[in-house]
Amino acid sequence: MHDISTKRNDYVLLSIAAFPYGVLPILEVDGVVISESIAICRYIAKMVGLYEGTPLEQAQIDMVVDNINEFEFSKSFL
Protein backbone atom coordinates (compact mmCIF):
# COMPACT_ATOMS: atom_id res chain seq x y z
CA MET A 1 0.00 0.00 0.00
CA HIS A 2 1.38 3.41 -0.90
CA ASP A 3 0.15 6.97 -1.20
CA ILE A 4 0.27 8.76 -4.56
CA SER A 5 -0.58 12.46 -4.35
CA THR A 6 -1.89 14.17 -7.46
CA LYS A 7 -2.61 17.66 -8.67
CA ARG A 8 -6.19 18.21 -9.79
CA ASN A 9 -5.64 17.67 -13.51
CA ASP A 10 -3.05 14.89 -13.27
CA TYR A 11 -5.47 12.01 -12.91
CA VAL A 12 -7.77 13.18 -15.70
CA LEU A 13 -5.14 11.87 -18.09
CA LEU A 14 -4.89 8.47 -16.43
CA SER A 15 -6.75 5.41 -17.61
CA ILE A 16 -10.09 4.02 -16.47
CA ALA A 17 -8.18 0.96 -15.25
CA ALA A 18 -6.27 3.15 -12.81
CA PHE A 19 -9.41 5.06 -11.76
CA PRO A 20 -12.41 2.74 -12.25
CA TYR A 21 -15.03 5.44 -11.57
CA GLY A 22 -12.90 8.40 -12.64
CA VAL A 23 -12.70 9.83 -9.11
CA LEU A 24 -10.44 9.82 -6.10
CA PRO A 25 -9.71 8.30 -3.71
CA ILE A 26 -8.48 4.92 -4.91
CA LEU A 27 -6.53 2.26 -3.08
CA GLU A 28 -4.23 -0.12 -4.96
CA VAL A 29 -3.25 -3.36 -3.24
CA ASP A 30 -1.17 -5.95 -5.07
CA GLY A 31 -2.23 -4.53 -8.42
CA VAL A 32 -5.94 -4.51 -7.53
CA VAL A 33 -7.57 -1.07 -7.58
CA ILE A 34 -10.38 -0.31 -5.14
CA SER A 35 -12.50 2.82 -5.62
CA GLU A 36 -15.17 4.36 -3.34
CA SER A 37 -14.02 5.79 -0.03
CA ILE A 38 -16.33 3.71 2.16
CA ALA A 39 -15.26 0.48 0.44
CA ILE A 40 -11.64 1.50 1.00
CA CYS A 41 -12.34 2.27 4.68
CA ARG A 42 -14.09 -1.07 5.15
CA TYR A 43 -11.16 -2.91 3.58
CA ILE A 44 -8.64 -1.14 5.83
CA ALA A 45 -10.85 -1.70 8.89
CA LYS A 46 -10.93 -5.43 8.12
CA MET A 47 -7.17 -5.52 7.63
CA VAL A 48 -6.47 -3.91 11.03
CA GLY A 49 -9.11 -5.85 12.95
CA LEU A 50 -11.72 -3.12 13.36
CA TYR A 51 -14.45 -4.93 11.40
CA GLU A 52 -14.84 -8.16 13.33
CA GLY A 53 -17.70 -9.89 15.09
CA THR A 54 -20.82 -11.66 13.89
CA PRO A 55 -22.67 -10.66 10.72
CA LEU A 56 -25.21 -8.93 13.00
CA GLU A 57 -22.46 -6.93 14.75
CA GLN A 58 -20.97 -6.01 11.37
CA ALA A 59 -24.42 -4.82 10.30
CA GLN A 60 -24.41 -2.52 13.34
CA ILE A 61 -21.07 -1.08 12.18
CA ASP A 62 -22.48 -0.66 8.65
CA MET A 63 -25.56 1.04 10.08
CA VAL A 64 -23.47 3.78 11.72
CA VAL A 65 -21.12 4.24 8.76
CA ASP A 66 -23.94 4.33 6.20
CA ASN A 67 -25.92 6.82 8.30
CA ILE A 68 -22.94 9.18 8.53
CA ASN A 69 -22.36 8.80 4.79
CA GLU A 70 -26.04 9.50 4.09
CA PHE A 71 -25.83 12.65 6.21
CA GLU A 72 -22.74 13.83 4.30
CA PHE A 73 -24.50 13.12 0.98
CA SER A 74 -27.64 15.01 2.02
CA LYS A 75 -25.55 18.10 2.86
CA SER A 76 -24.67 18.43 -0.83
CA PHE A 77 -28.32 19.34 -1.52
CA LEU A 78 -28.44 22.15 1.03
Ligand X SMILES: N[C@@H](CCC(=O)N[C@@H](CS)C(=O)NCC(=O)O)C(=O)O
> Which residues form the interface with ligand X (CB under 6 A)?
23-25, 36-37
Closest residue by Cα to residue 13 from 3, 22, 25: 22
For residues 13 and 56, which CB has a smaller minimum distance to ligand X in the complex?
13
Minimum distance between the CB of residue 55 and ligand X, rounded to whole angstroms? 24
For residues 25 and 53, which CB has a smaller minimum distance to ligand X in the complex?
25
What are the DSSP calls for 30-70, one per residue?
Answer: TTEEEESHHHHHHHHHHHTT-S-S-HHHHHHHHHHHHHHHH
For residues 36 and 44, which CB has a smaller minimum distance to ligand X in the complex?
36
